Structure 1
Amino acid sequence: MIARIMGEGQVRLEQSHLTELNELDNELLAAVEAGDEEGFRRTLGALLDSVRRLGEPLPDDALEPSELILPASDATLDEVRAMLHDDGLIPG
């Protein structure tokens, strides 16, 4: 799976990492729905850190279709709320 972090670039993620990422995605969705700014910041940071840690960065000149687009680390709660679907950012 190819993921893009807005403003950073793309990484390749193995399917085996989706369970961990889905857990963080569910926490992020709950924080957004509750309007919990502190929980949102903490969980968004953890999600992006996990994608960076688990993913293999693609070269800067590579442009692969992204199956997953994640907000930048400085995205606001309202911006992420607009990106979310009923089931979160990470496809199940």
Structure 2
Amino acid sequence: MIVRIMGEGQWKVDDSGFAELNGLDDELLDEMESGDETGFRRTLGALLDTVRRLGAPLPDDALEPSELILPAPDASLEEVRAMLGGEGLIPG
């Protein structure tokens, strides 16, 4: 799957990483719902780091359609909440 991190670029992530990413997404959603800013920051960082660790960056000039679009590392809890509309980042 192709994952875009807003403001950074795209990574090609093998489908085998989906379960790990989905678990972090569930955790992030729980933290957003409870308003846990500290947990949100930690988990968003972990989610983005996992994409970077599991994925291979695509060249900057590559324009592949992204299956997942993740917020920038400095996105606020409110910005991500508005982006999602109550759903997780990763489609179930």
TM-score range, shorter chain: over 0.9
1:73 corresponds in structure 2 to 73
Deviation, structure 1 residue 9:
0.2
Deviation, structure 1 residue 86:
4.1
Aligned residues: 92
The separation in 2 between residues aligned to 1:42 and 1:17, in whole angstroms, is: 19
The separation in 2 between residues aligned to 1:83 and 1:32, in whole angstroms, is: 12
Unaligned runs of 5+ in 1: none
* Residues 32-81 of structure 1: CA deviation (Å, up to 9, x unaligned): 00000000000000000000000110001000011100000000000110
User: What percentage of aligned pairs have identical amino acids?
Assistant: 74
Would you identify which runs of 4 or more consecutive aligned residues in structure 1 move more than 6 Å?
none
Unaligned runs of 5+ in 2: none
1:16 corresponds in structure 2 to 16
1:35 corresponds in structure 2 to 35
Letter in 1 for 2:30: A
Deviation, structure 1 residue 87:
3.9
Q: Cα RMSD over matched residues?
A: 0.9
TM-score using structure 1 length: 0.96
The separation in 1 between residues aligned to 2:7 and 2:60, in whole angstroms, is: 12
Letter in 2 for 1:6: M
TM-score using structure 2 length: 0.96
